[in-house]
Amino acid sequence: MTLTDQPARSKTESCGPLPRGFRYAGVACGIKKSGMPDVSLVVADRPVMGAGVYTQNQIVAAPVVLCRSRTPSTEIRAVVANSGNANACTGESGMRDAEEMCRRVASKLECEPDQVLVMSTGVIGRPLPMDRVRKGIDDAHERLVDGPQAFLESADAIRTTDQDRKTAFRTVDCGGEKYSIAAMAKGAGMIAPNMATMLAVILSDAPICESVAQSVLSAAARKSFNRVSVDGHTSTNDTLLLLASGSGESIAGDDLVRFQRGIDEACIELAKMMVADGEGATHVMAIRVSGAKDENEAEEIAKTVAASLLVKTAVTGGDPNWGRIVSAAGYAKATIKPQQVCLRICGTTIYENGTPLPFDEAALSQEMKRAEEVSIDLRVGDGVGQADYWSSDLTTDYVRFNSEYTT
C-alpha cells in the first residue's frame, strides 16, 4: 500500500435524509494499487441545476477546465470522479481522457457529454489508465442506487490520503417544505486558502435558479473551504460542485437565507474535517479574529496566524506561546491596534490590552494537549471585522508522510 491509498477510518457511519432525484455508486477499478474504491458516480434522474467553484491555481487539471466551461448550468445529469490519479499536467492526452470519461457516462445515461461533470484527484503528471477507468465507469453505472449505503460508497471512492470519510447532512425548512442537503468531500493535504486539494459535491432537492445556485455556492466556499490551511499549498484540481434537483419557482427571501445557512454549515463541517484529517495532524486550530477594520482584514490576520509554522508547532506541543500568535497578527497585511490586542487560548485570557497576563501555563498546556480543537480567539482592535479560520498543527508525521508521497 502506498501513502495515497489509505484505508477507510470513517467517523460518519450513517446518512442523514438524502435529496430526492439522485443515485450513487462507488467502485474499485484498479487505479489504486491497494484495490480500494477509486471511481465515484453521482447521477441525477433528470437534468438538474449545477454550479461550481474551482482552484485559483494557474496550473489546472483537465477536469477543472471542463467543469469550468460547463457550470453553471440547468442541464447537468452526472458527476463522475476518480481518485488515485489527478489527470493534471498531462497535456492534450489528459484532456482527451477527461472528455472520454464524460462521453462514456453520457452514453450510459443517453444524454449529452456536456451534461456530465468530471473530477480527478491523486498524483499529478501521470496518464490515466483508461482501460481500467472505462471498466470502472461501466461497473459504477450498473451499481447505481439511491440508498444511503451507495452514497457512502460514492464518498469513499473519492478519497486519497484521507483517513476519514467526509460527509455532512442538513435539512432545511422553507415555508413548510423540507429540503435535504447531502455533501461528500475529500481532502487531507495540500490544503491552503482559496480551496485545497479537495473535491466536494453538495446535493439538494431544493428549487434554485442558476444565479442563486452560483451565488450560494460561492458564498459558502468563502466561509469554509477558503478559510482552511494545512500547509499553504493550493492544488491543481480543487473542485466544489452543487447540484440541485428541485423544480418550480426558486426559493427566495427568508427561505433562501435558511438554505444558505444550511449549505454554509455543511461546507464548514466538511472543511473542518479536512483540517482534522491533515496529514499527521493532532490538533485543529480554530482561529477567530475580531475587532478588525472589516471582514477582509480580519480574514487576512487569521490566515497569517493559521499559516505560521511557529504557531502550528506551538499548538503541537501544547505551548501557550502568546508571543508567536500576537507577532503573527502584527506582520499580517492588515491594521491592528496593539494597545487593544487581546488573546484567549482554550477560553483562558493570556494577553489583554497589549500586555501579557499571569496564568497557569502548565494547566493551559495540558488543556491544549488534550483538546482535539484548540481555540485561539484574538481581538485586534475595536472594529467590526470578524472572521473564523481553521488550520492544523504541524508534526513530524507530516514531514515523513509528504517526503514519501510518491515513493
Three-state DSSP state, 238:
coil
Name the grid cell of 351.
494577553
Name the grid cell of 240.
466544489
Active site residue 197: yes
Beta strand pairing status for 177-186 and 355-356? unpaired
Name the grid cell of 8.
477507510
According to DSSP, the residues that pair with 166 across neighbouring strands are 185
Three-state DSSP state, 22:
strand
Question: For every residue of 128-181, which 3-state class applies, written as one string?
Answer: CCHHHHHHHHHHHHHCCECCHHHHHHHHHCCCCCCCCCEEEEEEEEECCEEEEE
Residues 121, 197, 234, 236: which is the catalytic one?
A: 197
Three-state DSSP state, 24:
strand
CB within 8 A of 360, min separation 6: which ones?
Answer: none
Q: Are 165 and 156 in contact (CB under 8 A)?
A: yes
Rounded to the nearest angstrom, the gap between the alpha carbon of residue 393 and the centroid of all alpha carbons in its chain is 18
Three-state DSSP state, 337:
coil
Taking the C-alpha atoms of residue 123 and residue 266, their distance in angstroms, rounded to an integer, is 27
The 10 Å Cβ neighbour count of residue 332 is: 22
Q: Annotated active-site positions, please?
A: 197
